[in-house]
Structure 1
Amino acid sequence: MKILLVCAGGMSTSILMKKMEKYWKEAGEELQIKAVGLGEYQDVYQNYDIVLVGPQVSYRLKEVKENTGLPCAPIESFDYAIANCSNIMKLAKKLYAEK
């Protein structure tokens, strides 16, 4: 699965991205993931299956969905804050099934 993580600047999401990579590897799942800011996602979304949006930019979810045409969802604030990779993986798999 190829996941694009979008947040305000790509910084906090980069931390989450590293934790997700580790979690998915330990779970034996294939994952390609990239964290970008709102200003960059339109340049790279074509290479991804789904888009997960950080809670701080979830108000832009509709715009991201319209611009990419990909399944998109916001990451719950609590899951994002504590890097709950289990819940985020469930969300990602649910979105991927919609593809």
Structure 2
Amino acid sequence: MKKILLLCAAGMSTSLLVTKMKNSAKEKGIKVEIEACPVEKFTDKLPIYDIFLLGPQVRFKQDELNLIAKEHNKRVEVINMMDYGTMNGKKVLEDALNHLK
């Protein structure tokens, strides 16, 4: 089972996106764990998750976090701003899974 963590500043809209991603995964029969937390918890969560998705509001952290993530053979990607703004859980899930291939 793949584990995806969304990282954000506060978490309200990201939590809604997580719900939409989980619903999309359920509809497609994909077993995946998806959660969200503040970006400050990244290092605590690093051993647990396979990929980390940054909300557009914290995209400036990508380079810094990728340096740490690469040491653990993991990735940090930024959620497409349009998909985030429209809460397109299906597309964000597809993008995350494609990054894991």
Same fold, TM exceeding 0.5?
yes
Tell me the CA shift for residue 10 of structure 1. Answer: 2.4
Specify the code of the residue in structure 2 equivalent to 1:14: S
Q: Which residue matches 1:72?
A: 76
Distance 2:87 2:30 in 1: 17
Specify the code of the residue in structure 2 equivalent to 1:80: Y
TM-score by length of 2: 0.88
Q: Which residue matches 2:55?
A: 54
Q: Which residue matches 1:94?
A: 98
Q: Which residue matches 1:44?
A: 45
Q: Where does the alignment leave 5 or more consecutive residues of structure 2 unmatched? A: none
Identity across the alignment (%): 35
Tell me the CA shift for residue 86 of structure 1. Answer: 2.6
Change (3 A) 1:11 1:76: same
TM-score by length of 1: 0.89
Tell me the CA shift for residue 85 of structure 1. Answer: 2.1
Distance 1:76 1:8 in 2: 16
Q: State the Cα RMSD in Å.
A: 1.2
Distance 1:88 1:62 in 2: 20
Runs of 4+ off more than 2 Å: none
Q: Which residue matches 1:35?
A: 36
Q: Which residue matches 2:24?
A: 23
- The count of residues paired between Structure 1 and Structure 2 equals 97
Tell me the CA shift for residue 56 of structure 1. Answer: 0.6
Q: Where does the alignment leave 5 or more consecutive residues of structure 1 unmatched? A: none
Tell me the CA shift for residue 41 of structure 1. Answer: 1.5
